[in-house]
Amino acid sequence: MSTIKDVARLTGLSISTISKYINGGNVLEKNRVLIESAIQKLDFRVNQAARSLKTNKTMTVGVLLPSLDVSFFANIITEIEYLLLDAGYFTVVCSYNHDPRQEMRKLCYLIEKNVDAVLMVPEYLGADEIMKISEIRNHTTPLVLLDRAVEGLYVDCVMVDNVRAAYQATCKLIRAGHRRIGIVLGPAEISTARERLQGFLQAHTELAVAPDPECIRQGDYSLESGHAIFGELMDMPNRPSAVLATNYDMTLGAVTAAYERKLRIPEDVSFIGYDEARLSRIISPPIDIVTQPTHEMAEQTTALLLERLRSGGDTPKRIRLECGMLNGQSVAPFPAP
Amino acid sequence: MSTIKDVARLTGLSISTISKYINGGNVLEKNRVLIESAIQKLDFRVNQAARSLKTNKTMTVGVLLPSLDVSFFANIITEIEYLLLDAGYFTVVCSYNHDPRQEMRKLCYLIEKNVDAVLMVPEYLGADEIMKISEIRNHTTPLVLLDRAVEGLYVDCVMVDNVRAAYQATCKLIRAGHRRIGIVLGPAEISTARERLQGFLQAHTELAVAPDPECIRQGDYSLESGHAIFGELMDMPNRPSAVLATNYDMTLGAVTAAYERKLRIPEDVSFIGYDEARLSRIISPPIDIVTQPTHEMAEQTTALLLERLRSGGDTPKRIRLECGMLNGQSVAPFPAP
DNA sequence: TATAATAAACGAAAGGTTTCGCGATGCAAA
DNA sequence: TTTGCATCGCGAAACCTTTCGTTTATTATA
């Protein structure tokens, strides 16, 4: 493995000149040619460890996710990755597999690996624990939270107005005449699930409809749980006339459960799904879908990350983006006209 | 940020003693106590850049995937991650988002970041291009391929016997009496898709059934394409009486398409899916599924990686694992008795 | 008590890069 | 021809750790 020293020797220039060239400094044209050919011949690559040692930077952003295969996050991260690359930053992802112990452990590892910033989707971690990490306490390593806040933790955060999104979807159902509405929620430990429930309840309150606790059911944001819970709801003696599923996987699970029971949407049950517009491309009639602003989330998150990476600490920013609603044909008036 | 030097000063010991302790060497009991409390007080952490510079190791394995949200890969990687962590290695994942240019670029980045080994699921990259990377040519950075080989590239590889898996599934359909069988394939550029097609054709040849080219259709391993292609097959004037979908997402897409058309499985069309056993938990009647040995793949891959990490180069190993078949009730005799 | 054997601590070099202040060089203007 | 100015190149220090060969301390043995 050849070093900058070898390049210096081969070109007859000094180490500092080579370093200058490598880092975009000006060198004499003839030296430029010389250096480039030497680099080529020696197959020289900058030793990143040495560079990091000196600069205290890795030009790498660490992303920590609860799981690798949640398409909602995967989509956002993919976009962020492109944006960060444009800014010269490499992105590495790692997952804690919904495991509370791994969540802390991996966060520490990432920071110890000297990533320049961490972007994370938290799940079970508390503010006190995160604050134990000195790099975060001292703002040495910027931390940005995605999709979910951590109570009592004052760091940058990009999220979505979950309350309002669920509120609007629920309102739509109530306005269509539905009075017993089922909701398929995520785990109560996760703030998005709590917020969506809150919006659901708020719509009931405002429109003076009493929610039935039996119709409020908690899953784990997985395909299977969406399937199971939708099934349970439909098997109730007085089943809800409409259902709201609150993420992509559970939406898909709910739809398969409906199909399986030969329940027609919306004739037999009205339905609103979540997250992926492409869902309506494979379900007919197309369903109504609450869409989250993934592009905007990616952009805002990247902007936030870059700002922190460039100019460091400031008072934390908390960004809330609005969700949209893709109108389909899965909400019918109730009772049927 | 405090360094080993600070710890040395505070304890009155030498730098080398501290280093020895950090790396698991023996020190006097009283010194141990001293060092530990100093480390605590100073909140000392090893500077990984400095360590890497010296040792030429990062204790990190880089994983390169075509996309983050393919659950088949995500499952395997999650398991590998645990196994590698036990062996002291940290795993970082990155994705090239099915983008041929990114595929090469990210591979180079990973290697430049000094990961100790790369595990990759290749897609479009050719052997010649990969061999341009000197670290791989010289076996400086071990490269292990997962799921797919690269033609002409002689490196370690853990894959599955796709030909046989598709062969057996197809045989099952033919033996049940089906003569026109549809297959929903992935992109021809991807070796697994070609192999699965080969197995499909081989079964036809051996059992003396002529395959209909019209029934052989290529998608892109996505939910939508599974949906679309299954739909196309069912819309044919003389549609196949059985269909084989060749990955998880396309299976799910196919099933929703069947539901949508109110086609009963297996009464109206026999069906075999792929990959995820849990599929049968949300589809009724449970479907027959070709299962890939994800656990074993994870184990073998990890073993291979660790071997390379520990003892370096050797003649490349190519491991082929057998797939299984989960019997459901989605294959009916044809014509119906 | 002296010596050998063992264990622990030490000092110094090495690993490859960036950075900063200073010296050299080249060119235009006077 | 000399002066002034702008560029460019250079040397050396610094970043923090590991490692290896050597010294010192400790314990056991004769």
Find the CB nearest B60 among A1, A113, A223: A113
DSSP class of residue B210? P
Spell out the alpha helix ranges (H) of chain B. 4-11, 15-22, 29-42, 48-55, 71-86, 100-112, 127-130, 134-137, 162-175, 191-206, 223-235, 248-260, 279-282, 294-311
Q: Which residue has the higher pLDDT, B311 or A201?
A: A201
Cβ-in-10-Å burial (0-12, 13-18, 19+) of B210 comes to: exposed
pLDDT at A313: 72
Mean pLDDT of A94-100: 96
Contacts of residue A56 in chain B, CB cutoff 8 Å?
49
Q: Which residues contact B134 (CB under 8 A, 6 or more apart)?
A: A43, B140
pLDDT band at A198 (very low <50, low <70, confident <90, very high): very high
List the Cα angle B4/B8/B11 in 5-degree steps. Answer: 135
Q: What is the nearest CA distance from A212 to chain B, expressed in angstroms?
A: 26
**B68 backbone dihedrals φ, ψ, rounded to 5°:** -75, -30
Residues 6+ apart with CB under 8 A from A79: A294, A295, A298, A299
pLDDT at residue B337 in the model: 82
Position A284 pLDDT exceeds 90? no
Phi, psi of B256, deg, nearest 5? -65, -35
Cβ distance of B47 and A53 shorter than 8 Å: yes
What is the mean predicted confidence (pLDDT) over A245-256?
96
Distance A45 CA to C28 C1' (A): 40
Cβ–Cβ below 8 Å for B259 and A257 = no
Nearest nucleotide (CA of A16 to C1'):
D10
Distance CA B279, CA B12 (A): 63
The closest CB to that of A92, out of B45, B52, B94, belongs to: B94
Q: pTM for the complete prediction?
A: 0.94
Residue B204: count of CB within 10 angstroms of its CB:
19
Q: Phi, psi (5° rounding) for residue B145?
A: -95, 140
CA→C1' distance for A60 and D12 (Å): 30
User: Beta carbon of A52 within 7 Å of strand D?
Assistant: no
pLDDT at residue number B312: 78
pLDDT of residue A94: 95
Minimal Cβ distance to A283: which of B58, B95, B256: B256
Give me Rg for the CA atoms of chain B.
26
Alpha carbons A75 and A301: distance in angstroms, whole number: 13
Question: What are the pLDDT digits (tens) for A208-243?
Answer: 999 999 999 999 999 999 999 999 999 999 999 999
CA B124 to chain centroid:
15
Are the C-beta atoms of A10 and A42 separated by less than 8 Å? yes
Q: Which residues of chain B have pLDDT under 70?
A: none
Best mutation target among A113, A249, A260 (most B Cβ atoms within 10 Å) is A113
The pair of three-digit structure tokens given for residue A176, joined into one six-digit string? 């269509």
Q: How far is the CA of A20 from the C1' of C30 (A)?
A: 34
Q: How far does chain B reach from its first CA to its final CA, in angstroms?
A: 78
B252 touches A: beta carbon within 8 Å: yes
- Residue B51 CA to nucleotide D28 C1', Å? 39
In Å, how far is A92's CA from the nearest CA of chain B?
A: 5
Q: DSSP character for B139?
A: T
CB-to-strand C under 7 Å, chain A 42-81? 44-47, 50-51, 53-55
Q: Is B256 helix (H, G, I), strand (E, B) or coil?
A: helix
- How many CB atoms are closer than 10 A to CB A154? 12
Which nt is closest to the CA of B53, judged by C1'?
C15
- CB interface of A with B, residues 211-240, below 8 Å: 223-224, 227
pLDDT of res. B117: 97
The DSSP annotation for B35-85 comes to: HHHHHHHHT----HHHHHHHHS---EEEEEES-TT-HHHHHHHHHHHHHHH
CA distances, A138 to each of A132, A135, A144, A313, B46 (Å): 10, 5, 14, 9, 18
Q: What is the pLDDT of residues B106-153, one digit of tens each?
A: 999 999 999 999 999 999 999 999 999 999 998 999 999 999 999 999
Is strand C less than 7 A from the beta carbon of A28?
A: no
Tell me which residue of A36, A38, A32 sits closest to A7, measured CA to CA: A38
Are the beta carbons of B50 and A47 separated by less than 8 Å?
no
Question: In chain A, whose CA is at the least distance from the CA of B113?
Answer: A48
Distance in angstroms between the alpha carbons of the first and the last residue of chain A: 78
Please compute the mean of the pLDDT values over residues A83-90 and round it to a whole number: 96
Gap between the Cα atoms of A175 and A181, Å rounded: 12
User: How near does any CA of chain B get to the CA of A59, in Å?
Assistant: 10
Tell me the average pLDDT across A262-287: 92
B-facing residues of A in 65-104 (CB < 8 A) are: 67-71, 73-75, 77-78, 81, 90-95, 97
CA distance B182 to B215: 4
Better-predicted residue by pLDDT, A282 or B199: B199
- Render A70-118 in DSSP notation, one character per residue: -HHHHHHHHHHHHHHHHTT-EEEEEE-TT-HHHHHHHHHHHHHTT-SEE
pLDDT, average across residues A28-36: 92
Question: What is the C-alpha separation between A126 and A152, in angstroms, rounded?
Answer: 8
| Residues from chain A contacting residue B257 (CB–CB below 8 Å) | 282
Q: Chain B residue closest to A46 (CA)?
A: B112
Residue of A nearest to B257 (CA): A282
Residue B28: half-sphere exposure toward Cβ, Cα within 13 Å:
5
**Closest approach of B260 to chain A, Cα-based (Å):** 7
Interface touch A256/B259, C-beta < 8 Å = yes
Q: Which of residues 44-103 of B touch strand D (CB under 7 A)?
A: 44-47, 50-51, 53-55
d(CA B3, CA B15): 10
Contact between B76 and B70 (Cβ < 8 Å): no
Query: Rounded to an integer, what distance in angstroms lies between the CA atom of residue B311 and that of residue B36?
Result: 33
pLDDT reported for residue A91: 97
Count CB-CB contacts under 10 A for residue B277: 12
Residues A306-317 have pLDDT tens digits of 999 998 777 999
Which residues are within 8 A (CB) of A156 and not within 5 positions of it... i.e. 6 or more apart?
A142, A143, A144, A145, A304, A308, A316, A317, A318
Pairing relationship of beta strands B216-218 and A117-120 according to DSSP bridges: unpaired
What does the pLDDT read at residue A118?
98
Burial category of B46 from C-beta neighbours within 10 Å (exposed 0-12, middle 13-18, buried 19 and up): middle
Which bases of strand D sit closer than 7 A to a protein CB? Answer: 7-21
Q: How far is the CA of B40 from the C1' of D28 (A)?
A: 37
**Contacting B residues, span 277-296, partner chain A, CB-CB under 8 Å:** 278, 281-284
In single-letter form, the type of residue at position B247 comes to N
For A261, the token pair is 């029971």
Query: Which CA distances in Å does B298 have to A75, B116, B287?
Result: 25, 18, 25
DSSP, res B334 = S
Count A/B contacts: CB-CB distance under 8 Å.
129
Say how far B13 CA is from D24 C1', in Å: 13
